[in-house]
């Protein structure tokens, strides 16, 4: 199986005919079935995927593949519209809703010949940091079933019940996409990133998670959470792949007026060998309270890595970092209150049977359709937008947002090229522990290191760096300057090469045969 390959590697194999698109597609579909317990996928579009694979095979047969992504199986988070496929946002409000159109990013992937395997699981309406609060249930981190994690976990007994209760979360809200990439069921996946929703699960699942600059990639077709911060996110197994996918997706879209009009040229990542001209900033506020000592140590070793290679590594300050979560809380709930207003049951989605009046129908529909988290945010948002509160909360938050964005401008203006920070405060926690706190508390804790980049619209990427003492992935984050993705990814790629993050040794039980089989993911049989 070519599970370990990147689009480059597997793409070369497709070109040379060592594997066919349909074989690849079938292997991935079969793996999705045997990893069903991860709950990474909400919808698997088996028939259409196989059709797309067949079309791709014909193109390869003619020697005319559309590009590197032709025939490559991909997955898309279930808050992107994909024509003919159910798009639910993991909410009762959209259960049964069949998208009549493709989101621009989905269309771009399909135009390049990618094979869309299905839609991945998430927190309801992308609100959350664990991928635990959707109507289809929580997503399980594939690393829970890795040899690396099992070896380090306290052996009470290796019974199935213990495995059942010990599994760890993926992080969120794009947990399904991260789990799908991490468990080799697809080669790339789309997520969304509003407060860290792509980078957080990427860190916990040991994959590359890229948040592009706001305005680079079209949001048309991405069901909006916070219009001024949302971006489509890219999850892949290596930085080169992320660059390829970025090249496919970036660029002006007439259907999204918030995409910039500058000409975007896809790029190949150079193999950086000399980092001596690089200036790496270490923002001190990113040593936030609660940062685990393991991650702190990994972060400093990474800083030393750059220093020893000749780069300039300096401490910098982003003084308003600690307020980014509070600011996000107000702006997010305010924009959510507005964005969720469209769900009234009239034109699409769930509709209540109540029909005494439009208002009572709307109220009942929304009562039945939204979970507590969504309702809570709508109500908070409306509170902050009340006339008596508008200046004190909403406008105030917008002012604080400028201060946060200016912090970055100052630092980059002083000669720093890239910032190096941790992505999360700790490795993935067990689900049973995660659910002890409510969604808002968790989000406030978990988004602390990722949120500011959304506030300022900057590109950021999680690169898997090492394993924690519990055998779980830990990632580090690079934050770059606006629209300087090439520089960001080049540095990330150099770093990725240095740390040589280990491959997951996934142990997948074949439930159908009842036999326990090891699947060494590195095997290329």
Partner 1 sequence: MRALTLGRWLRGARGRGGARAPRRVPPARAALTAPAPRPAPVPPRPAWQRGQQRPPQRKVTVEVLDRLEHLALVDFRDAEGVERLQKAIQFADQLHEVNTDGVEPMDSVLEDRCLYLREDDVTEGNCTNELLKNAREKVEEYFVAPPGNIPLPKLEERETFLQGS
Active-site residue, from 3, 11, 77, 468? 77
157 a catalytic residue: no
Site string for partner 1, 253-292 (x = CB under 8 A): -x--xxxxx--------------------x-xxxxxxxx-
Between residue 438 and residue 467, which ones bind partner 1 under the rule CB under 8 A? 438, 440, 444, 456-457, 465-466
Relative to beta strand 188-193, strand 73-77 is parallel
Site string for partner 1, 320-359 (x = CB under 8 A): xxxx--xx-xx--x---x------xxxxxx-x--xxxxxx
Measured distance CA(347)–CA(127) in Å, rounded: 23
- Would you say 145 or 328 has its CB closer to partner 1? 328
- In the bound complex, what is the minimum distance in angstroms from residue 363's beta carbon to partner 1? 5
Tokens 């508008």 sit on residue: 390
In the three-class reduction of DSSP (H, G, I as helix; E, B as strand; rest coil), residue 117 is classed as strand
Options 19-27, 160-168, 190-198, 308-316: segment touching partner 1 (CB under 8 A) = 308-316
**Residue 392 DSSP code:** I
Site string for partner 1, 484-513 (x = CB under 8 A): --------------xxx-------------
Q: Is 293 in the site for partner 1 (CB under 8 A)?
A: yes
Total of chain residues touching partner 1, rule CB under 8 A: 106
Relative to beta strand 41-44, strand 231-236 is unpaired
Q: What is the phi/psi pair of residue 149, to 5°?
A: -75, -40
**Contact of 504 with 168, CB cutoff 8 Å:** no
| Closest by Cα among 390, 387, 388, 348 to 369 | 348
Active-site residue, from 197, 380, 468, 521? 197
521 a catalytic residue: no
- In the bound complex, what is the minimum distance in angstroms from residue 19's beta carbon to partner 1? 30
Q: Is 403 in the site for partner 1 (CB under 8 A)?
A: yes
- Category of 154 on φ-ψ map: left (φ > 0), alpha (ψ -120 to 50) or beta: beta
77 a catalytic residue: yes
Measured distance CA(210)–CA(481) in Å, rounded: 14
Out of 252, 410, 486, 520, name the contact with partner 1 by CB under 8 A.
252
Between residue 193 and residue 212, which ones bind partner 1 under the rule CB under 8 A? none
Half-sphere exposure of 164 (CA within 13 A, CB side): 3
Residue 165 CA to chain centroid, in angstroms? Answer: 25
Active-site residue, from 34, 173, 174, 426? 173
Measured distance CA(406)–CA(214) in Å, rounded: 16
Between residue 121 and residue 180, which ones bind partner 1 under the rule CB under 8 A? none
Annotated catalytic sites, by residue? Answer: 77, 173, 197
């Amino acid at each position: 199986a070519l599970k370990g390959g990147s689009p480059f590697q597997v793409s070369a194999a497709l070109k040379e005919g060592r594997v066919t698109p349909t074989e690849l597609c079938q292997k991935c579909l079969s793996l999705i079935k045997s990893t069903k317990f991860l709950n990474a996928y909400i919808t698997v579009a088996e028939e259409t995927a196989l059709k797309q694979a067949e079309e791709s095979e014909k193109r390869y047969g003619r020697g005319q593949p559309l590009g590197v992504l032709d025939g490559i199986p991909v997955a898309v988070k279930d808050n992107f519209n994909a024509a003919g496929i159910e798009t639910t946002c993991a909410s009762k409000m959209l259960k049964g809703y069949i998208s009549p159109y493709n989101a621009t990013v989905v269309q771009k992937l399909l135009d390049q010949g990618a094979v869309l395997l299905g839609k991945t699981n998430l927190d309801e309406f992308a609100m959350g940091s664990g991928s635990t609060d959707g109507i289809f249930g929580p997503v399980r981190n594939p690393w829970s079933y890795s040899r690396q994690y099992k070896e380090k976990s306290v052996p009470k007994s290796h019974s199935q019940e213990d495995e059942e209760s010990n599994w760890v979360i993926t992080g969120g809200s794009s947990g399904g996409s991260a789990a799908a990439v991490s468990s080799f069921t697809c080669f790339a996946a789309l997520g969304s990133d509003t407060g860290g929703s792509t980078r957080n699960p990427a860190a916990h699942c040991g994959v590359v998670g890229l948040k592009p600059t706001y305005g680079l990639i079209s949001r048309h077709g991405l069901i909006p959470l916070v219009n001024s911060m949302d971006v489509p996110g890219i999850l892949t197994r290596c930085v080169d792949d992320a660059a390829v996918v970025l090249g496919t997706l970036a660029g002006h879209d007439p259907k999204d007026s918030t995409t910039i009009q500058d000409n975007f040229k896809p790029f190949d990542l150079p193999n950086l060998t000399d980092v001596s001209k690089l200036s790496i900033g270490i923002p001190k506020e990113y040593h936030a309270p609660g940062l685990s000592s393991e991650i702190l140590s990994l972060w400093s070793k990474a800083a030393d890595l750059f220093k020893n290679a000749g780069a300039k590594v300096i401490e910098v300050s982003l003084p308003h970092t600690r307020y980014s979560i509070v600011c996000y809380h107000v702006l997010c709930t305010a924009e959510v209150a507005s964005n969720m207003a469209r769900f009234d049951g009239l034109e699409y989605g769930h509709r209540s049977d109540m029909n005494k009046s439009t208002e009572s129908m709307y109220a009942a529909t929304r009562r039945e359709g939204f979970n507590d988290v969504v309702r809570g945010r709508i109500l908070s948002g409306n509170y902050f937008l009340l006339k008596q509160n508008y200046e004190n909360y909403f406008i105030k938050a917008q002012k604080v947002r400028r201060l946060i964005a200016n912090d970055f401008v100052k630092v980059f203006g002083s000669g720093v090229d890239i910032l190096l920070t941790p992505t999360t405060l700790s490795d993935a926690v067990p689900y049973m522990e995660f659910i002890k706190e409510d969604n808002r508390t968790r989000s406030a804790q978990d988004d602390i290191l990722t949120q500011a980049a959304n506030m300022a619209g900057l590109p950021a990427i999680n690169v898997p760096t090492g394993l924690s003492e519990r055998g779980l992935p830990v990632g580090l984050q690079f934050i770059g300057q606006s629209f300087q993705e090439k520089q960001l990814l080049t540095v990330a790629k150099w770093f990725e090469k240095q740390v040589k993050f280990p491959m997951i040794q996934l142990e997948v039980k074949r439930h159908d045969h009842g036999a326990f089989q090891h699947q060494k993911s590195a095997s290329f049989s």
